[in-house]
Each structure stands twice: as structure tokens, then as C-alpha cells.
């Protein structure tokens, strides 16, 4: 992969996912193809741009996309936190806010549900 493509991929990830979470979506091979100084410069520029912070809306959209890709899987709050790149407390708040997307199946274990299909079936 050439450096221009890698630079563009990293810049897009920083813009879309926010400064702390961009590295979760960019493969290690792409990150290693650029010098660390270049990545630090891009991150410094993102810090100056207030639109690059990861908002709750972005996190919720990421959560719904991840849940749709993992329907009926059994997860814990920690699994959700790791998948979204957030802390456990924030994952717990999201699970409480969107309780229709989960069904408790055991101690601290939840099944991901399709809320629309559940509503249509009842």
C-alpha cells in the first residue's frame, strides 16, 4: 500500500471514529506503513478540529451497526465496550438506554435481539 492511500485511510478513520478510536478500524499494516511522526501530526491536527471528537451519536450508530452484524450472539457489557472502543460504564448506559436490543440470558450475559422483528412478531 502506498503512503498516500495509507495517509488518507488514517485521516478518514480519525474523522469518522474520533481521535481515541481510529486505530481500532485501521489495520496494523496500514498504521506501520507511515512514520509515527506523520500520524502524530495528523492526530495533532485532529485535536485542533472540534468536529473530530467521537460523539454519543456516532457511538450509538456504531453500536447499532455492530449489533445488526452480531444478531443473537451472547455478549457481556465488556464485549460491547471492547467492540465499540468505549469504557464499561458507557457500554452499560447504552445497554440500559436501548434495552429492547438485548435479552438477559444469564448472569451478566445478554443475547442481541432484533427489536423490529420482535415488535412485528408480537
pLDDT, tens only, 17-56: 776 677 778 888 888 888 888 888 887 777 666 555 567 7
- pLDDT of the residue at 47: 64
Domain count, the chain: 2
Reduce the secondary structure of the chain to three states and give it as a string: CCHHHHHHHHHHHHHHHCHHHHHHCCCHHHHHCCCHHHHHHHHHHHHHCHHHCCCHHHHHHHHHHHHHHCCCCEECHHHHHHHHCCCHHHHHHHHHHCHHHEEEEECCEEEECCHHHHHHHC
- pLDDT of the residue at 49: 61
Please check whether residues 63 and 22 belong to one and the same domain: no
Please check whether residues 62 and 116 belong to one and the same domain: yes
The residue range of the domain holding 33 is 3-50
80, pLDDT greater than 70: yes
Please check whether residues 116 and 83 belong to one and the same domain: yes
Which whole number is the average pLDDT over 63-85? 90
- pLDDT of the residue at 93: 92
pTM check: above 0.85 = no
Question: Tell me, what CATH number does 101's domain have?
Answer: 1.10.10.10
Amino acid at each position: 500500500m502506498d503512503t498516500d492511500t495509507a495517509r488518507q485511510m488514517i485521516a478518514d478513520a480519525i474523522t469518522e471514529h474520533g481521535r481515541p478510536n481510529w486505530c481500532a478500524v485501521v489495520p496494523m499494516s496500514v498504521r506501520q506503513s507511515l512514520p509515527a511522526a506523520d500520524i502524530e501530526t495528523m492526530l495533532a491536527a485532529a485535536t485542533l478540529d472540534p468536529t473530530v471528537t467521537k460523539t454519543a451519536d456516532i457511538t450509538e450508530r456504531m453500536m447499532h451497526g455492530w449489533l445488526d452484524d452480531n444478531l443473537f450472539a451472547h455478549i457481556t457489557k465488556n464485549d460491547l465496550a471492547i467492540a465499540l472502543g468505549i469504557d464499561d460504564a458507557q457500554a452499560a448506559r447504552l445497554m440500559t438506554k436501548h434495552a429492547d436490543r438485548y435479552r438477559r440470558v444469564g448472569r451478566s450475559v445478554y443475547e442481541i435481539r432484533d427489536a423490529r422483528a420482535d415488535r412485528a412478531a408480537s
